Amino acid sequence: MIKMKIGSKLLLTYSLLIASIFLSTSLSFNFITTRYLIHETEVKLQKEAEVMSQLLSKSAISNKNVQKRLGKRKALFISEKLLSSKMIIWKKNGEIIYTDSDDIDLEKVKRLSTGPTKKFVTETVPFTAKLGKTKGYVTLIARLDDINNFNGLMRNSQFISLIISALIALLLGVFFEKSITKPIRMLTDHLKNYTVKGAHKEISINTKDEIKDLADSFNALSRKIKQYDDEQKMFFQNASHELKTPLMAIQGNAEGILDGVVSGEDVSHSLNVIIAESQRLKKIVESITYLAKLENVDDSFYFNHESLETIILEAVQSIHAIAGERELRSRWKLTWLIPFGWTRKK
């Protein structure tokens, strides 16, 4: 498994987040803006076509009159004057009265205004005479390529903005990554160099988050380890003192007997001292062993299903020799045998 630092994981996650936002924003932006621009173009074309229809309804239909009416007309601009429209005024029989673009064919425009091959956005409004009879039609045209070009311009602007934002976000991510991982690195270095002798040197991290809680927990653990170490040292000092006293008494009396300094009835007294100090030494050792077992209680016992008869037989055999030395008789009898769970020393 590849080892990756927390900072690298944060940067990778941050980069993936930025990439996903960039991708989803680009796709949604392209779809939404295209539909919006087409709809906005249709609305604007519809409004201007209605205005043109009202103007043309008040005059006779001729190229000269139309040019006079529309002499001051400027091209329709949509979306901050970046999309322009073209106009065709034509009669019911298809005769074109006026157009401001010579390269646009009416039949071609009608054919390419719908369906999958759509290339134009058009709005057609009739204009009528005073009696309500339709005199002709005003058709306003916007090229779909112009809309797509404008959409591409907006998309490129968005792309550049997102790239700049992503770079700024990555720089901020690197900065925050260092600020987040710095206390972790401090804690790691402290743990690597930790010793019981240096347990009094606590690490101070004031991030006010889970890392600070971790550092405080380690400081508390370090204090407990230091306290335990001090207690062990004190215990061994006391134990060595307790062991030294009976050993010196045993050694002194044994050397006195060996060198002949102690003789006669004093020999018996010295031997009694040696026996007494040996018993005392034995008790001290047993106490130390017992304390060691208390600290490792899980390692001192194991549990298993045993027959109660087996346990009783072992106990009787262990005291039989002692009873014989003291001229005591032991009698026992098992009247029932039941398998029983028992705790046994190792």
Give the tens place of pLDDT for each residue, 241-278. 888 888 888 888 888 888 888 777 788 888 888 899 89
The pLDDT tens digits of the residues spanning 308-327 come to 778 777 877 777 777 777 77
By the 8 A CB rule, do 87 and 97 touch? no
pLDDT at 344 over 50: no
The rounded mean pLDDT for the chain is 76
The token pair at 167 is 């770079």
pLDDT at 343 over 70: no
The pLDDT tens digits of the residues spanning 190-199 come to 888 888 777 7
Higher pLDDT, 47 or 67: 47
pLDDT at 338 over 80: no
Higher pLDDT, 64 or 127: 127
Q: How far is CA 50 from the centre of its chain?
A: 59
Spatial distance between the Cα atoms of 303 and 309, rounded to a whole number of angstroms: 17
Per-domain boundaries in the chain: 6-167, 210-295, 300-345
By the 8 A CB rule, do 52 and 184 touch? no
Spatial distance between the Cα atoms of 117 and 113, rounded to a whole number of angstroms: 8
- Cβ neighbourhood burial of 98 (10 Å; 0-12, 13-18, 19+): buried
By the 8 A CB rule, do 48 and 99 touch? no
* pLDDT grade for 15, boundaries at 50, 70 and 90: confident
Would you list the DSSP string of 257-285? HHHTSS-THHHHHHHHHHHHHHHHHHHHH
Higher pLDDT, 6 or 171: 171
Phi and psi (nearest 5°) for 147?
-65, -45
CA distances from 27 to 23, 31, 162, 228 (A): 6, 6, 13, 64
Spatial distance between the Cα atoms of 247 and 265, rounded to a whole number of angstroms: 22
Q: How many helices (H) and strands (E) does the chain have?
A: 8, 8
The pLDDT tens digits of the residues spanning 58-84 come to 666 666 666 666 654 544 444 444 467
* pLDDT grade for 53, boundaries at 50, 70 and 90: confident
* pLDDT grade for 4, boundaries at 50, 70 and 90: low
* pLDDT grade for 118, boundaries at 50, 70 and 90: confident
First to last CA, the chain: 42
Encode burial over 1-38: b for 16+ CB neighbours within 10 A, e otherwise. eeeeeebeebbeebeeebeeebeeeeeebbeebbeebb
Closest Cα partner for 76 from 122, 118, 108? 122
Closest Cα partner for 70 from 85, 55, 54? 55
Which residue type occupies 215? A
> Averaging pLDDT over each range in 42-51, 56-65, 80-89, 178-187, which range is the top one?
178-187
Encode burial over 246-279: b for 16+ CB neighbours within 10 A, e otherwise. beebbebbeebbeeeebeeeeeeebeebbeebee
Range 210-295 classified under CATH 1.10.287.130 = yes
Mean pLDDT of 88-109: 77
Beta bridge partners of 120: 143
Spatial distance between the Cα atoms of 106 and 120, rounded to a whole number of angstroms: 11
By the 8 A CB rule, do 187 and 218 touch? yes
pLDDT of 346:
44
6-167 folds as: Beta-Lactamase (3.30.450)
> Averaging pLDDT over each range in 63-72, 109-118, 290-299, which range is the top one?
109-118
Q: Tell me which residue has tokens 């091959």.
A: 117
Closest Cα partner for 190 from 211, 174, 175, 170? 211
Mean pLDDT of 125-139: 78
Mean pLDDT of 3-32: 75
pLDDT of 63:
63
pTM: 0.44
Lowest mean pLDDT among 173-187, 274-288, 293-307: 293-307
By the 8 A CB rule, do 246 and 218 touch? no
β-pairing, 301-307 vs 134-143, is unpaired
